[in-house]
Amino acid sequence: MSEAGGDALSVIGLNVWYDEAKALFDVSLRATSGQVVACVGRNGAGKTTLLRTVAGFLKPRSGSIASAGVDLVGLPSYGVAQLGIKYVPQDKMVFSDLTVRENLELSSYATGDYDWEPVTTYFPKLKALMDHKAGHLSGGERQMLMIGRAILGRPGLLLVDEPTEGLAPGIVMHLKHVFRDLSKRATLVIVEQNLPMVCAIADTLYAMSDGRIVAEFAGRGSVRPEVCERYL
Ligand code: ATP
């Protein structure tokens, strides 16, 4: 994605409601190109709501969302995806009855990108699983497939919701390296509860509570687990 038009992500004064219940209060967040931005907070803080709103699944009542100068508010989720902004949801939902290969084929069809080399380079294990039904994958393998699908089409901005939740330490470590490498060519916004993992890769960390941004830590020296843990 071109950086010429502005930040990879600029969220200003976002207010989001679920019917009568307000979930986000004047949320502002910024990610410059190639940054890894972390968002942490307790359950119900509004992290998923924020990512889903940026991804076009929820419509804010007010506030602005822009990526590289393009206004995202009002775009449907597929319109946001077509701009190279990919959302990896928390639920690890894959097409269970389809094979790994077929899951990837669907994403290739959607993006027009049939080069799976980055997917199998980051996740070599998927090569051996190509003909397995996705419903039979372990949690870690599903997450590899979720991220693999998302990186087809070479997105400029990845929104990743709690990628390491419930995963074994080995795959958490692997994902940390993948995210670090992906940030060389994309901007990442990662919602995460695993502070040691996310603090190891984040340039900026936002803490949320009760639908608000309550703290911002900028710079690798400031983004440290012992400083941020009070927000979990
Ligand atoms: P978690 O870590 O548990 O996923 P979160 O920080 O991602 O939490 P959200 O899921 O964004 O928080 O929830 C923010 C608020 O919005 C909470 O009060 C939650 O109950 C409410 N909420 C979330 N989804 C809905 C929904 N579909 N309908 C109504 N309220 C919702």
Q: What share of the chain is helix, strand, coil (3-state, %, to 5)?
A: 35, 30, 40
**Nearest partner of 119 among 94, 147, 157, 83, judged by Cα:** 147
Nearest CA to ligand 1 atom 2: 43
- Domain map of the chain by residue range? 9-231
Indicate yes or no: pTM above 0.85.
yes
Cβ of 56 closer than 6 Å to ligand 1, yes or no, is no
pLDDT, averaged across the chain: 94
Cβ of 21 closer than 6 Å to ligand 1, yes or no, is yes
Is the separation of the CB atoms in 99 and 135 below 8 Å?
A: no
pLDDT in tens, 18-40: 999 999 999 999 999 999 999 99
The pLDDT value recorded for residue 227 is 85
The pLDDT value recorded for residue 5 is 58
> Would you place residue 77 in the very low, low, confident or very high pLDDT band (cuts 50, 70, 90)?
very high
Cβ of 109 closer than 6 Å to ligand 1, yes or no, is no
Answer yes or no: is pLDDT of 199 > 60: yes
Percent over 90 (pLDDT), the chain: 88
pLDDT in tens, 126-143: 999 999 999 999 999 999
**Residue range 9-231, CATH number:** 3.40.50.300
How many whole angstroms from 221 Cα to the centroid of ligand 1?
31
